[in-house]
Amino acid sequence: MTEQTTSSARARRIRNALLASAFTIGIVGATGAGTLLSNSHLAFADPVQVQAAVPADFSTVVEQVKPAVVSVQVKTDVEPVSRQTTRGNDFNNLPPELRDFFRRFGTPRGFGDDQGQGGDGSEPFHPRHGMSQGSGFFVSGDGYVVTNNHVVEDGREFTVITDDGRELDAKLIGTDKRTDLALLKVEGSDFSYAKLSHDEPKIGQWVLAVGNPFGLGGTVTAGIVSAENRDIGSGPYDHFLQIDAPVNRGNSGGPTFNTRGEVIGVNTAIFSPSGGNVGIAFAIPAKTVEDVVGDLKSNGVVTRGWLGVQIQPVTKDIAGSLGIEGTDGAIVADAQANGPAAAAGIKAGDVITSVDDKQVKDPRELSETIASLEPKQKIAVTVLRDGHEQQIDVTLGNMKDLDESQQANAQPDDQQEDVKPGTLDGLGLTVEKNTDGDGVVVKGIAEDSPAADKGIQEGDVIMAVGGKVVSTVSELERGVSAAKQQGRNAVLFKVQGENGTHFIGVPFERG
């Protein structure tokens, strides 16, 4: 009995020692923060303390902001049924048994002749109208309501329905398609209104989306800011907030609030492969809303500076073809005819690097910078041309005067040469003179060639190479050779295709 007790005690001591060793090794190995000191003590770094910022509930905020949110109903004109269509549904074309039935019980809407739907001229011909709806919110106590442009677009009558059920006639003050914002006005005063936030939203902060999806009445959903400065390709001024609060059809124009009850954005779009909510919604930032609403309230339109250029990013290949370092700036694809830039001497192929000494990172930043300036304002535009930096003074035009049909006209040389095809070695292109206009037409593209990789297609027209206009195959070949002799790793083409005119940097194949 004694031997067994001694043996058991010894076994327990060994087991405890092994467990202690395993526990010590496990902590050091798992955390990586422990340091084994000479006296065999463990020292740990202090853990990160995270204090939960989630409110117990959102009811207080919702109670505060909900009266400011409204439903916006829009009556639109719909193409009326034509006389020809009405005659096509002629009562007399029906089978005899249906004609007898409708004589007794009346004809359905849509059947009849020129003079009316019953075939006897008893009911006049009426135009049709449609109805759509979205959300909005009071931005001031005197009845100004913010919503989306796409909510009120093509509308002829507007009704604002308040949170307490009042239906108020509204007047359209102005719209701005480029930011998808609109401003309405109802008569009255002392409306509950929402304040626009002046603080930059932070990724991860809680937000509330309030609106009127599906016409069900006021609805509130919660989520967080997922990202900022998102470009979704809807326009030149895209810098949306991305939120994961469920935003559905009918929420358009409604506000997104922070937990202080301030508007940080206006809901405008969702990403939805299936048509339902997948937790990716986009809101127009409050700063943009404030600027646009201010202009609409004062002038009924938004005034923006206009430079008059078509621009694109500077890719690595374009930078290499121009012999410049880095990809900052925006390359001018076209300086629009009669535009401010063209009048000042800015040309296609120039890389705009700064405006009034403010560096330009990319085309979107350039667009936003110019739009923030006043028309008729004189600015200093810094460009890179032929590897050299120069400053050009430009007097801005007014964006609202822009005629979107304006196109830049390249001025090719008048030199005429034969039209036989040529092959650009090292690029994978077969080209020939464009007999229908300016430039050189791409007739063939080798598979897996640099040109194919960069998206050049058969039928595209190469208008210029290395900044010089070309009208013949020989001119194009000389331009490519010049780029090689200058030690460039790519050649810059100005290409006119189905998607407009743009620059493409095509790298040379390595020997």
* Least confident range of 41-55, 126-140, 207-221, 261-275: 41-55
- 150 an active-site residue? yes
Beta bridge partner(s), residue 312 = 331
**pLDDT over 70, % of the chain:** 70
Q: What confidence score (pLDDT) does residue 382 get?
A: 95
Flag whether 51 is in a domain.
no
Select the highest-mean-pLDDT range: 54-58, 346-350, 443-447, 492-496.
346-350
Flag whether 412 is in a domain.
no
Flag whether 159 is in a domain.
yes
* pLDDT-derived band at 272, boundaries 50, 70, 90: low
Q: What confidence score (pLDDT) does residue 443 get?
A: 87
* Least confident range of 76-90, 103-117, 306-320: 103-117
Tokens at 257, concatenated: 């609030």
Catalytic residue among 71, 135, 150, 163: 150
Task: State the Rg of the chain over Cα.
Answer: 34
Task: List pLDDT tens digits, range 83-114.
Answer: 444 444 455 555 555 555 555 555 554 444 44
SS3 assignment, position 152: helix
> Are 133 and 182 members of one domain?
yes
User: Model's pTM, two decimal places?
Assistant: 0.62
> How many domains are contained in the chain?
5
Beta bridge partner(s), residue 221 = 209
Catalytic residue among 197, 252, 321, 354: 252
> Are 182 and 207 members of one domain?
yes
Which secondary-structure segment (H or E) carries 343?
helix 340-344
> Are 316 and 390 members of one domain?
yes
CA distances from 224 to 201, 243, 245, 279, 350 (A): 10, 6, 7, 10, 42
> Are 263 and 312 members of one domain?
no
Q: What confidence score (pLDDT) does residue 247 get?
A: 84
* Under 8 Å between Cβ of 251 and 213: yes
Closest CA to 358 of 381, 390, 338: 381
- 252 an active-site residue? yes
Beta bridge partner(s), residue 422 = 431
Task: List pLDDT tens digits, range 188-241.
Answer: 999 999 999 999 899 999 999 998 766 667 789 999 999 988 877 666 677 889
Tell me the pLDDT of the chain averaged across its residues. 77
Q: What confidence score (pLDDT) does residue 44 get?
A: 52
> Are 217 and 293 members of one domain?
yes
Q: What confidence score (pLDDT) does residue 115 get?
A: 41
Q: What confidence score (pLDDT) does residue 117 get?
A: 43
Catalytic residue among 71, 163, 176, 180: 180
Q: CA 334, CA 346: separation in Å to the nearest integer?
A: 9
> Are 257 and 160 members of one domain?
yes
Q: What confidence score (pLDDT) does residue 245 get?
A: 87
SS3 assignment, position 188: coil
> Are 328 and 287 members of one domain?
no
Domain span at residue 26 reads 2-43
Q: How far apart are the first and last CA of the chain?
A: 89
Q: CA 492, CA 485: separation in Å to the nearest integer?
A: 14
For residues 94-104, one letter each, b for 16 or more C-beta atoms within 10 angstroms of the residue's C-beta and e for the rest, the string is beeeeeeeeee
Flag whether 113 is in a domain.
yes
